[in-house]
Amino acid sequence: MREKGLKRVRTASAVIAALLFLGAFYALTTSPVAASVETEIVVDVGNITDLIWSSSGTRIAYVKCPDGQQWGGLWVGDWDGHEVTNVQLLYTEVDGTRLEDWQGSWILFMIRHENGLPSEYYGRGELWKIRDDGTQLTQITFTYTNGIRTEWWNPAYTNIGTANWGRFIPGTGFVYFSAHDGNGWWKAYTCNADGTDDWNLISGNTFSFTIGMSPTGNKLVWGTSWYWNQPTTLMASNVDGTERITIRQFPFKTYPLVLADGNTVVYSRPDGNIGAIQIDGTADRVVIDDEYANYWANYDPVDGQSFLMSSNRDPDGNVHIFSVGVSGTEVFQLTDGPYNDDSPIYSPNGYCVLYRRLPVGSDTYTYELVIRWIAKQIEIDIKPGSECNPINLGSRGKTAVAVLTTSNFDASTVNPVTVVFAQAVALRWNLEDVDGDGDLDLVLHFSTQSLELAIDSTEGILTGFTFGWELIEGRDSVRIVPP
């Protein structure tokens, strides 16, 4: 493998070297200058066609193709929660949009080395796996030779296998995949994940023109219809194909996404809308129904009741990424700027999103591969003990801000040297119980003259990171008083 130049943090940061935080009172010798907390890094730039996280969340992989070429190199890099390092080329002949899954040390993908039809069968159109150190390349599906393909007259599939979408099934030794008979009649299958095949037909006598799987591995899902573009009936079964059920017959074609709870299925609706239904067919509901183009993108691995969505609902009209709860009442914008964003995937711990973006107006496929942190909203108390939080910007003193420990957040996990309040860094900090609830809170002190607040400011914002590199954000009201 050959090493590629490391990509560094894009924006200015208040992050100094991480210090050991013992909970005692410290002094930090830092000049009180304006600062900001980084919210994203750009990993690479180019014709990036696919991307994925490792199941451990400590590495990323992506495919980068030369312009005009439908296959390219598989690159992998290490992720420590703050930056990507050791970016290396793992394999050179990966189908540009067929980076399928990464469980443990194995990456599931498809190979390719020409734009047109191959002159002979070499395993294109089949699922393969490779270890994330570049060893043990192994063919997983054998649709071209094992009887799954039964039609040979269609020239579009000359010397090509018929597998497509595929996933490792968690907790098993199987891969779930879709394949067709050589003429586009798709069905759902499983096979061994070790290269010994032993395929099993899951969808039975029904077709599988759309497909999905529970992230927990408890259910396999597919969408059947009498023809590929006709209304879909969503179905599900156990991993071995037993206990097959009909989730619902829809009056439109739809694509399913099973959320991390293993029981909620999000599905596409006409005109860019989104619905949800339980895997047993109950509680069918509309999640998003508006004038925008909304499309589900991926599930939240931590919150089993939310997912990622791409939408043009931002006033700038560009396509950005949003987090959506299945109730439809919680829609949070995660990305912004003069870009069109797509292919988002949460890190396994839910701290950040890996995605690609294309500058608006670009006439080339020069994507940026981006990791953006998602801020956890926390509770803060500006000037603890004060009701209206008055701040005199002319004061030569300090302004205290407390990060509160609550039932779902421990303030002692905050790395104080990363914290920024109103563009000022903390000068010192200590742990104490400021709200009298018996828990230790983190109290940070900032130079009042360094606060970038205006005379009409009504809110102060604190951002920073935990020691585990989870981005945090807290807000509280302020009242600016005359000097």
Three-state secondary structure of 107-160: EEEEECCCCCCCCCCCCCCCEEEEECCCCCCEECCCCCCCCCCCCCCCHHHCCC
Contact between 264 and 326 (Cβ < 8 Å): yes
Contact between 445 and 432 (Cβ < 8 Å): no
The whole-model pTM stands at 0.90
Distances (CA, A) of 424 to 70, 227, 451: 48, 61, 6
Burial (Cβ within 10 Å: 0-12, 13-18, ≥19) of residue 303: middle
Task: Measure the CA–CA gap between 307 and 266, rounded to whole angstroms.
Answer: 9
Whether the predicted pLDDT of 2 surpasses 50: no
Whether the predicted pLDDT of 436 surpasses 60: yes
Tokens of 182: 């050589």
pLDDT band for 38, please (50, 70, 90 cuts): confident
- The answer regarding whether domain 377-481 maps to CATH 3.40.50.300 reads no
Task: Measure the CA–CA gap between 478 and 356, rounded to whole angstroms.
Answer: 37
Whether the predicted pLDDT of 253 surpasses 70: yes
pLDDT of residue 26: 41
Q: pLDDT tens, 325-366?
A: 999 889 999 999 999 999 999 999 999 999 999 999 988 889
Q: pLDDT tens, 368-377?
A: 999 999 999 9
Where do runs of H (alpha helix) occur along 271-381? none
Count of residues in the chain: 483
Task: Measure the CA–CA gap between 348 and 427, rounded to whole angstroms.
Answer: 34
Name the region of 124 (left: φ>0; alpha: ψ -120 to 50; beta: rest): beta
Fold of 38-374: Methylamine Dehydrogenase; Chain H (2.130.10)
| Sequence letter at residue 221 | V
Task: Measure the CA–CA gap between 53 and 345, rounded to whole angstroms.
Answer: 7
Average pLDDT over residues 321-327: 96
Whether the predicted pLDDT of 387 surpasses 90: no
Positive or negative torsion for Cα 139, 145, 148, 149: positive
| Sequence letter at residue 267 | Y
Q: E strand or H helix at 33, and its extent? A: none
Whether the predicted pLDDT of 31 surpasses 80: no
Q: pLDDT tens, 262-305?
A: 999 999 999 999 999 999 999 999 999 999 999 999 999 999 99
Contact between 306 and 323 (Cβ < 8 Å): yes
Tokens of 149: 């393909």
List the chain domain ranges: 38-374, 377-481
